[in-house]
Homo-oligomer: A and B are copies of this chain.
Amino acid sequence: MITTGHGSTEAITTTGTSEATPRELGVGMRFSLHPHTDDFVRVILDSLAEVEASGAGEGLVIETDEVSTYVGARAVPAEQDLAGYLVAAIAAASRHSGGGHVAAHVLFSRGCPGERTCDLTSTILPEVAPVRLEPTGIEAVAQWSLYPLLDGGDDAGEHMSIIEAAITRAQARGVAAPAAHYATKFTGDLAEVVATAVDAWARVGTTVPHVATHLTISVGSPTPARGT
């Protein structure tokens, strides 16, 4: 059974006999846009409005609050929809700020729709097709962290093995640098950077019922050596 947190008004129950939907699995993201300009309010609002007008939000639940925007997937292809929405929003913010410095932070999560009791051990976890996104022409640098949320046991090091395998796959795509403290650096087209993180997260999700990943993305930074 999955029960949603206080943030939702619906209770969701899955059975172990059929493949779970993205909604039942709590597949979604929470992201924030940070245009480094005096005109940030206009840039953010124009960017979100443009993405909404483009239809990229169709089939998604979108809620913006003081800190971030929650985007929940209802149906397949959930990962494709989420990645497409995020890339469109960051690309729009980059354009609306005249190619200036924009940072974004995103948390993708799958496995527990709210924060309360969540037991997915009897749920069949779906395989997910890799995300396909058109290149944006926007070079991005990012830092990526992956959290497979296993439950306790004696299988020492299993969560690290999962993380290491995911880093190795991201490196094979040409996006990831060697791992650094707490995060792995990604460089490449904005679309490929996001796709690499989303594919890694979705892949771990086929064997681990609850997995989150965080990505801090920077585009248009004028200070590559010191751009905190």
Contact = CB atoms under 8 A, between A and B. Distances in A.
Contacts of A224: 66
Contact of A5 (B67, B112, B180): B180
Copy total for this chain:
2
A28 B147 CA distance: 17
Contacts of A68: 143, 183, 216, 228
Contacts of A45: 226
A34 to B, nearest CB: 4
Contact of A7 (B36, B141, B180): B180
A33 interface: yes
Interface stretch (A12-20, A129-137, A148-156, A198-206): A148-156
Interface residues of A, number: 85
Interface stretch (A52-60, A74-82, A101-109): A101-109
A103 B66 contact: no
Contacts of A118: 157, 160
A225 B226 CA distance: 32
Contacts of A223: 41, 66
Contacts of A109: 181-182
A65 B30 CA distance: 24
Interface of A: 5-8, 26, 28-38, 40-41, 44-45, 48, 64-70, 72, 101, 103, 105, 107, 109, 112-119, 121, 141-143, 145, 147-160, 163-164, 167, 178-185, 210, 212, 214, 216, 218, 221-228
